[in-house]
Structure 1
Amino acid sequence: MGPIGAPDASPPPLAGAPARRYTRPMPDPALARHIAACNNIASPAGLIPFRMGGAQVGWVSPDLAQALTFRPRDFHFDGDGVGLAARLRSPGARSEALAAALPSLAAGGFLRIRNEAFDLRATSTGPVLGTLDRGALPAFGAMSQGVHVNGLVRRADGLHVWVGIRAKDKAVAPGQLDNVVAGGIPAGLSAEECLVKEAAEEARLPPTLAATARPAGRVSYVMSNAEGLRRDVLHCFDLDIPEGITPTPGDDEVERFELWPAARLLEAVRATDGIKFNVNLVLIDLFLREGMVADPDGSLRAGLDQGPD
């Protein structure tokens, strides 16, 4: 078969019959645009591999690599890129070397320090090779992992979804819609442990309820932005929130929570840009699993898994 939208290699029509074009059904472009926006870099051309313990964990810009040459004791260069010195054999030693480099890199405008350590891995399920401040992950093109929870209420008139309205002073996506619970996974925590913590902090949901959330899969993407390269893996969970329980803000992340019919939320994804960029992907995954959108050629599903393994 030819490319999407091209005529299929179908048998010729019978003599005297009108010519007919056969085309593959297309996915909804209003949904596909969000996937494309989160995967806006075709290849890492121009970036330099970054390694730890012999495994590649990220990509750095030539300018950042140049800055690392001023720390030759900890960062070594060869034909395969830049890596932490081989003498740094333990995750703790690697973490210390990275942390020591960050103040000068931040002063040089390469990153901002957020004082929250994230685990560094070559793959999402691989061993922890070290830790790095969350604010430095994009500059090093290192994988970040997070949890996103769909808060679901099933009623006679259909599925409803709890959404958070992000605070207007947030640095990222101010005032936009978010999942009921979402957050990056700090060093040392599992996705499930992070979920329970974030549910209490962000939405004041009791741990006994949060622990009933069901793993629903994952989405991943690679996005180039002003901070560097975001290589994100989002672990998706579905949580049934009983009638009578209302999420309430527990910190400054969101202003309020609202319960939306899923059909209204789908229309917002399709027709607006009012939803946080990566939350669109989590919701498209939900809509696919709930049978609310068609994916005739499988490209929407495939598009949700373009990031790290």
Structure 2
Amino acid sequence: MLSSAASPFLRHIERCRNVTLSAGRLPLFHEGTTIGLVDPACLYWLEDPACTGLMTVTDQAVTLPDARNLRELSLRLARQERYTPFHEWFDVRSPTGKIIGQIDRALIPVFGVEASGVHMNGLVRKASGLHLWVARRSPQKRLDPGKLDHLVAGGMSSGLTPEETLMKEAEEEATIPAGLSRQASHVSTLHYAMSRPEGLRRDRLLCYDLFLPEDFVPHINDGEVESFHLMPVEEVFRRVRDTDEFKFNVNLVLLDLFLRLGMFDKQDSLALADSLYMGEAE
């Protein structure tokens, strides 16, 4: 059982695992395996004559004869103004991890396919203790505007490895040169399934630590970040515990960091780890 000091952290885990799959959705089949879970409220999109031949739709399932159709489907649905595209392609994978097609990022929660992203803790060792660089998201961001975020975080676009994604996002978001960002270490992988206003999120978060020089200062580059702040890790801990200032999934990655830093007593650490890493394959 969690102590009163640690129990507030549990709400972040519960928020990111607020559905039981299939969450009332229809399976999206490809070659006999489930690659997604389709929102039934959007089935009429797929039954439109403009989408004829791309998918087979019944009241029990949606079948994708050729995964390459996902790209064409994304384009046709955008032309019909069924959704607002990101114009950013994400890979769709089979359960074995094989890339089978691409989909516009905005359709991922509609079709309930798994998406991957990277999150990097930008850490600084100072005489006064360990500090963490924190970003504040731009108020113009489509998702979670104005929330606190990691120094570097982003979805894994089609064709990129996690390491390539990390270096790309580090340069774009915080002007961190590749020679520095490639020193980041992969420390954990987290999964969750969550119902959000945009749909079903089935995310795989690849978590990294990067220890930065004390004199390093990130700079805003692509406009996705409003500002950067260097905070003592104890202050970050307090904000995660007492507020909802951080973007929803950032709390999970920070909780993983706090556990690795030993910021909970043994009993609380074991209980939180059981919840955070429940069902993790990695």
Q: 1:162 aligns with which of 111, 130, 133?
A: 133
What displacement does 1:296 show?
2.3
Equivalent AA in structure 2 for residue 144 of structure 1? A
Q: How far apart, CA to CA, are the structure 1 residues paired with 2:57 and 2:125?
A: 56
* Pairing of 1:1-309 with structure 2 (within 5 A): 28-70=6-48, 71-77=51-57, 81-85=61-65, 88=66, 94-95=67-68, 97-103=69-75, 105-106=77-78, 111-123=83-95, 126-294=97-265, 296=267, 298-305=270-277
Tell me if the contact between 1:204 and 1:250 (Cα under 8 Å) persists in the aligned partners.
Answer: yes
Tell me if the contact between 2:71 and 2:101 (Cα under 8 Å) persists in the aligned partners.
Answer: no
Q: Between Structure 1 and Structure 2, whose CA radius of gyration is higher?
A: 1
- CA change 1:294–1:42 in 2 (3 A) is farther
TM-score scaled by structure 1? 0.82
SS in 2 for 1:63: helix
After superposition, the C-alpha distances for 1:143-184 in whole angstroms (9 at most, x for unaligned) are: 110000000112233211111111122222222211000000
Equivalent AA in structure 1 for residue 54 of structure 2? D
Tell me if the contact between 2:74 and 2:103 (Cα under 8 Å) persists in the aligned partners.
Answer: no
What displacement does 1:225 show?
1.7
Structure 2 segments unaligned to the other structure (5+ residues): none
TM-score scaled by structure 2? 0.90
- CA change 1:141–1:247 in 2 (3 A) is same
After superposition, the C-alpha distances for 1:225-273 in whole angstroms (9 at most, x for unaligned) are: 2222010111000001011111111111112211100000000000111
Tell me if the contact between 2:134 and 2:148 (Cα under 8 Å) persists in the aligned partners.
Answer: yes
Equivalent AA in structure 1 for residue 128 of structure 2? D
Q: How far apart, CA to CA, are the structure 2 residues paired with 1:169 and 1:295?
A: 41
Q: How far apart, CA to CA, are the structure 2 residues paired with 1:276 and 1:300?
A: 19
After superposition, the C-alpha distances for 1:90-123 in whole angstroms (9 at most, x for unaligned) are: xxxx33x223323554477753211110011134
Equivalent AA in structure 1 for residue 168 of structure 2? K
What displacement does 1:300 show?
2.1
What displacement does 1:138 show?
0.4
Q: How far apart, CA to CA, are the structure 2 residues paired with 1:31 and 1:288?
A: 11
- Alpha-carbon RMSD across the aligned residues, in angstroms, is 2.3
**Which has the larger helix fraction?**
2
Tell me if the contact between 2:46 and 2:57 (Cα under 8 Å) persists in the aligned partners.
Answer: no
